[in-house]
Structure 1
Amino acid sequence: MKDIIVIKCGGSMISSLSDDFYKSIKTIKDRGFHPVIVHGGGPAIDQMLEELEIKSEFNNGLRKTTSEVMDVVEMVLSGSMTNKLVRNLEKHQLPALGMTGFDGSLLKAKAKDFENLGFVGEITEVNSDFLFNIISMGVIPVISPLAAGIDGASCYNINADTAAGSIAVALKASKLLFVTDVPGVLKEKNLIENATVPDILNLIDDGTITGGMVPKVMAAIDSLDGGMSNVMIVSGKNSLLNGEKLIGTTIYKELEAAY
């Protein structure tokens, strides 16, 4: 199946995705593309852990997921986050199906570093046939990044950026989009439309790319290493499209691939 676009929405973006964003998803789908959405839920998980007075800690940017924390992660990711996206897609006449990595054995994983990270996993297998069947019915999969363990563990928490990358590679997607709150990578307030991996690393070194954009572009680079030909950083606060063209920063592995 051609022309699959995997769209990764961070948990902090879900509530602020604009009507124009959803309308552009509709336009993309009407043009014959097949959207697949993968989402996170970090802020909502933080809020629920605080309300339940459950302590959590981070190790190298990843949440250490104890069994107690895992219960909350599973509840938030497969509940409110997925449901909000599905409701908004349906509101814009976009049939959608919320699912976790358990459904149809979609995602399987092993422990990344159990001693330091607990139930944080890395994906070992994506059931692409299952997703192709869903997509072929004209339905948009909305995937929360939870996976079944191949080592007997019932559930693993997967970083949403890496989950989106693994799914995009498995589906041989034509595009992988990371949705942010800015139009893309900016230099002196101007959008950088095309960049290579060395360009991005230089922009991090010179302080142009800072803060929350750093993990996003690094996840994009990881996806390129995984087999994607290019990855885009786009905004969820506006339309994804300017006429026929996707708006954002396209990152390529090498200069030759950009042209």
Structure 2
Amino acid sequence: MNYVIIKCGGSVFEQLPPSFYQDIVTIQEQGEWQPIIVHGGGPLISQLLEQTGVKTEFVKGLRVTTNEVLDVVEMALSGAVNKGVVRELSNAGGKAIGVSGVDGQLLHAQPIDEEMTLGYVGQVTEVNTGLLKEWIQQGLIPVISPIGIDDKGQRYNINADMAAAAVAQALGAKLCFISDIPGIYQEIDGEKQVFHQLNEQKIAQLIADEVIIGGMIPKVQSAIEALQQNVLEVSIVDGMAKHGLVEFMQGKPIGTRISLTHQEVPYVESNK
């Protein structure tokens, strides 16, 4: 079985068209690749924390995660966002199972920081792949919220990119980050020139040249780290493009594919 881990951030979910979920169902039905979704939900978490009046503090710009904060995080991710994705897949004719990393100890976790500076923020130490494969054998599409758990039952909030990479590593899968842009691009004379293939060396150069900036920097760095740890391929794909995900899985020049090898890095079509 070939697996593709599809990671979607909370802000992107609000914009995804119905065709995106139809693409995921189509990919599963075609039989060559089994999709697994890992999602975030940052905007909703912030909204619920404000609505519930749960006080939070920050260390170097990062939110400290207490058990009280985790209650809200779990409400947002494992509740609203997770089940919303399951419903969308059902509307598209698919069958999905919505779970968190807590269920069946799917994502075994430990603190990302031994000194617990950020509280219960974790990293994945083990993925229960047997559980995932059981659901898949039943024809289900797993939808995972990135809450982990340790042997003592303590929950951890896990960065969704890191959780998706851990699942991809455990399954030797492709990892696909869904975005609201056509891929990594360089703007020339007002036109977006998309890089459809990048390697580690070229990414370092694009960061130095300030072509890759802001939130895209940690994403591509996570991609390189994932490739170094058994992930088959890492890509950034536009979830807004109709049937873009299906065409990407068919090998067409959609989005940006990232690899470690030093290969040619072409520009392709312009996107104004």
Decide: shared fold, TM above 0.5: yes
| Root mean square deviation of aligned Cα | 1.9
Cα distance, 1:248 vs structure 2: 0.9
Q: Is the 8 A contact 1:82 1:144 kept in 2?
A: yes
Question: Aligned pair 1:139/2:140, yes or no?
Answer: yes
Q: What SS class does the counterpart of residue 210 from structure 2 fall into?
A: coil
Question: Aligned pair 1:254/2:261, yes or no?
Answer: yes
Q: What SS class does the counterpart of residue 129 from structure 1 fall into?
A: helix
Q: 2:270 corresponds to which residue?
A: none
Q: 2:269 corresponds to which residue?
A: none
Distance change >3 Å, CA 58–CA 156, structure 1 → 2: same
Q: 2:194 corresponds to which residue?
A: 191
Distance 1:57 1:224 in 2: 34
Q: Is the 8 A contact 2:22 2:89 kept in 1?
A: no
Q: 2:66 corresponds to which residue?
A: 66
Distance 1:74 1:160 in 2: 13
Q: What SS class does the counterpart of residue 65 from structure 1 fall into?
A: coil
Cα distance, 1:257 vs structure 2: 11
Cα distance, 1:127 vs structure 2: 0.5
Residues 220-248 of structure 1 show CA distances to partners (whole Å, capped at 9, x for unaligned) of: 12211222132000111123133833521
Distance change >3 Å, CA 59–CA 8, structure 1 → 2: farther
User: Structure 2 regions of 5+ residues with no counterpart?
Assistant: 266-272
Distance 1:122 1:15 in 2: 26
Cα distance, 1:57 vs structure 2: 4.2
Distance 2:141 2:164 in 1: 14
Q: What SS class does the counterpart of residue 255 from structure 1 fall into?
A: coil
Q: 1:245 corresponds to which residue?
A: 251
Q: Is the 8 A contact 1:100 1:144 kept in 2?
A: yes
Letter in 1 for 2:107: L
Runs of 4+ in structure 1 displaced over 4 angstroms?
Answer: 57-62
Q: 1:160 corresponds to which residue?
A: 160
Distance 1:124 1:162 in 2: 11
Residues 125-150 of structure 1 show CA distances to partners (whole Å, capped at 9, x for unaligned) of: 11101101111111000000011113
Q: Of 234, 239, 259, which aligns to 1:236? A: 239
Q: Is the 8 A contact 1:165 1:226 kept in 2?
A: no
User: How many residue pairs get matched?
Assistant: 255
* Superposition map of 1:1-259 within 5 A: 2-32=1-31, 33-59=33-59, 62-113=62-113, 114-150=115-151, 152-173=152-173, 175-188=174-187, 189-238=192-241, 239-242=244-247, 244-245=250-251, 247-255=254-262
Q: What is the TM-score normalised by the length of structure 1? A: 0.92
Distance 1:57 1:219 in 2: 26
Letter in 1 for 2:141: I
Residues 60-102 of structure 1 show CA distances to partners (whole Å, capped at 9, x for unaligned) of: 6653211221111111111001011000000001100000112
Residues 176-228 of structure 1 show CA distances to partners (whole Å, capped at 9, x for unaligned) of: 10011101101121110000012112211211112222222122122112221
Distance change >3 Å, CA 58–CA 165, structure 1 → 2: farther
Cα distance, 1:110 vs structure 2: 0.8
Q: What SS class does the counterpart of residue 208 from structure 1 fall into?
A: coil
Cα distance, 1:58 vs structure 2: 4.6
Larger Cα Rg: Structure 1 or Structure 2? Answer: 2
Distance 2:226 2:102 in 1: 23
Distance 1:177 1:17 in 2: 15
Distance change >3 Å, CA 61–CA 218, structure 1 → 2: farther
Q: Is the 8 A contact 2:22 2:93 kept in 1?
A: no
Distance 1:23 1:245 in 2: 18
Q: What SS class does the counterpart of residue 47 from structure 2 fall into?
A: helix
Distance 2:121 2:264 in 1: 33
Letter in 2 for 1:245: G
Q: Is the 8 A contact 1:229 1:257 kept in 2?
A: no
